[in-house]
Chain A
Amino acid sequence: MGGTAKSQLRGRRAAAGLAAKGDPGWVKWLITGASLCFLLLFLGVPLVAVFAEALRKGLGAYLESFQNRDALSAIRLTLLVAAIAVPLNLVFGLAASWAIAKFEFRGKSLLVTLIDLPFAVSPVISGLIFVLLFGLQGWFGPWLAGHGIQIIFAVPGVVLATVFVTFPFVARELIPLMQEQGTEEEEAALVLGASGWQTFWRVTLPNVKWGLLYGVILCNARAMGEFGAVSVVSGHLRGQTNTMPLYVEILYNEYNFVAAFAVASLLALLALLTLVLKALVEWRTQGESEASPAPATAATPEAEP
């Protein structure tokens, strides 16, 4: 009996592959139907609503929403903030992952935990800490005021809060990737006479480029879209410290829905672009890992009698 059962099993497994292992048809339909309904109600409908509301009064009204100084300055500030925050956290991510992945030292796991810390902090608190540091009642507030430097309710505060909330993105993508790749290739390059920088540019960087891109995409999306932290430090000065998400809030609270959703639709397009890029990077890395020899799968034989 054992022989036929085993061959039967093997045959079925080969036929079914990895998909649909043994769920009866109605269970399959139930789970798929319920999941798709859930996704539609919570993700699909709100996403479509953004564009529908933005175009409610036609394309003309939609385009007109961008034709004023406040909208343009919000877009400009958002781009500026991302252009500062992303490179800063990119350099940090490279340095941190190099130190953590290529060397052994005590306190490493504590360092990794600390790098993730900004993710555990509420966006509002992320803004608050900078108010406590640089606000008028804060530690450096009086000194800054004395020297005519304004950080809170000004652009530097917006940049600082954004750098804080996007801090871990690149590092947390790169650290596990570099750890997985080990140090053999770098050691070989160095032994063959390459300098440290040459090794970094020609060996390490090409090896982690997809993970790096992935981290930068996510970091950028959050930098452009951050709302809570920026809302605390910006002071909502129209045309000066309003990023796009803050401008959306102002328009919405003024019942100017078409303009609010028009600006929001730009941010939603950015989000969709982020998702597409993310999916492309994932396929790319999957393809690469499938092309390279797969690691030996352990723990299969124990089920054999």
Chain B
Amino acid sequence: MPAPTAKTFRKRRGVIPGFGLTLGYTIFYLSLVVLVPLSALFLKTAAAPWADAWETITSPRVLASFRLSLAASLAAAAVNAVFGLGVAWMLVRYAFPGKRVIDAVVDLPFALPTAVSGIALTTVYAPGGWIGRWLEPLGIKAAFSPLGVTIALVFIGLPFVVRTLQPALEDLDPEVEEAAASLGAGRWQTFRCVILPAILPALLTGFALAFARALGEYGSVVFIAGNMPMKTEIVPLLILVKLEQYDYTGATAIASAMLVLSFLLLFLINAVQWWSARRHFAEG
């Protein structure tokens, strides 16, 4: 294709210097730090006998950890979708004292090191802890159970949902809601039929981002999980367990399976964004 090449070439030769240097360095550093190490994982998996890798992944203990990781991540992302929408709605729509502080605190799970959140959540939700002592008489075992894993994953995923929803809620055109109201729609009907469809792509993206992050999360979960085999072991922990047993092939097999899962999610997120951008474009 000669035509586009000539065009890009001319643009490249504009007055601004440094294209070769910056792009060259970008690709060099990207390869060195990210691409080569990541490809090591896939080459290692490809080099190992497939039967062994399959046996590792389908062993009961690993399957149990995948079940827990997927279920807890889904549950946490769902909780975050509901409460994250509430928090984002509150921050965008209502005025109240201390709003800026609340808005800043939403980012706490991003900023707080995961080991710190892990031990803090464990202490608070353990039997006898500040919140755990109220749950205990109700027969709810929060820490050292699948529920504990979910609690940690809710903590870690919250900012993803809120921060994706906030701009979408801010972009809503007030006239559309007013039009719906003046045409006789109730508040709930307006929300369900006008607002929700408009923010659905953002909600889905936030949900998927929180889910993807939850799947790979390690630090905040290992303390509160209790790590009982077959019961409360998450997938990242099993990778570490295999490594400590010097079972590199096993660790690599589990890691590859997980990585494929995260890349599928990443692809899904991009597809949702592409779809919503196109829809937005078609409407506007």
Contact = CB atoms under 8 A, between A and B. Distances in A.
A95 B29 CA distance: 10
Contacts of B107: 275, 278
B112 A299 contact: no
Contacts of A133: 36-37, 40
B207 to A, nearest CB: 16
B54 interface: no
* A49, A122, A132, A137, most chain B CB atoms within 10 A: A122
Contacts of B71: none
Given A31-B89, A99-B26, A271-B108, A225 B178 contact: no
A34 B82 CA distance: 11
B113 A128 contact: no
If over half of A's interface residues share one DSSP class (helix, strand or loop), that class is named, otherwise mixed; here it is helix
A204 to B, nearest CB: 10
Given A20-B94, A98-B22, A120-B266, A35 B86 contact: yes
Interface stretch (B58-66, B198-206, B215-223): B215-223
Contact of B219 (A19, A106, A227): A227
Contacts of A20: 93-95
Given A133-B40, A164-B37, A303 B116 contact: no
B86 A34 contact: yes
Contacts of A124: 216, 218, 236-237, 239-240, 255
Contacts of A43: 105-106, 108-109, 155, 158
B86 A167 contact: no
B95 A19 contact: yes
A138 B107 CA distance: 38
A224 B236 contact: no
Contact of B111 (A102, A120, A122, A274): A274
B219 A123 contact: yes
Interface in A275-302: 275-276, 278-279, 298-300
A248 B119 contact: yes
A123 B22 contact: no
B15 A190 contact: yes
Given A118-B34, A128-B255, A268-B116, A23 B17 contact: no
Given A20-B93, A32-B94, A98 B18 contact: yes
B44 interface: yes
B87 interface: yes
A35 B218 CA distance: 26
Contacts of B131: 41, 45
Contacts, number: 302
Interface in B1-33: 4, 8, 11-12, 14-19, 21-23, 25-27, 29-30, 33
Contacts of A13: 174, 178
B102 interface: yes
A248 B237 CA distance: 18
Contact of A300 (B120, B129, B173): B173
B181 A132 contact: no
Interface of A: 5, 9, 13, 18-24, 27-28, 31-32, 34-36, 38-39, 41-47, 49-50, 53, 92, 95-96, 98-100, 102-106, 111, 113-115, 117-118, 120-125, 128-133, 135, 137-139, 160, 163-164, 167, 183, 186-187, 190-191, 196, 199-200, 218, 221, 224-228, 231-232, 244-246, 248-249, 252, 257, 260-261, 264, 267-268, 271-272, 274-276, 278-279, 298-300, 303
13 contacts: A13-B178, A32-B96, A36-B90, A45-B124, A95-B21, A104-B12, A106-B4, A128-B252, A183-B14, A225-B116, A245-B113, A299-B173, A303-B179
Interface of B: 4, 8, 11-12, 14-19, 21-23, 25-27, 29-30, 33-38, 40-41, 44, 83, 86-87, 89-90, 93-96, 100, 102-121, 123-124, 129-131, 151, 154-155, 158, 173-179, 181-182, 187, 212, 215-219, 223, 236-237, 239-240, 243, 246, 248, 251-252, 255, 258-259, 262-263, 265-266, 270, 284
Given A47-B108, A96-B26, A228-B218, 14 more contacts: A31-B90, A36-B90, A92-B30, A99-B22, A102-B16, A103-B12, A103-B19, A105-B19, A125-B239, A132-B41, A190-B15, A224-B113, A225-B111, A267-B116
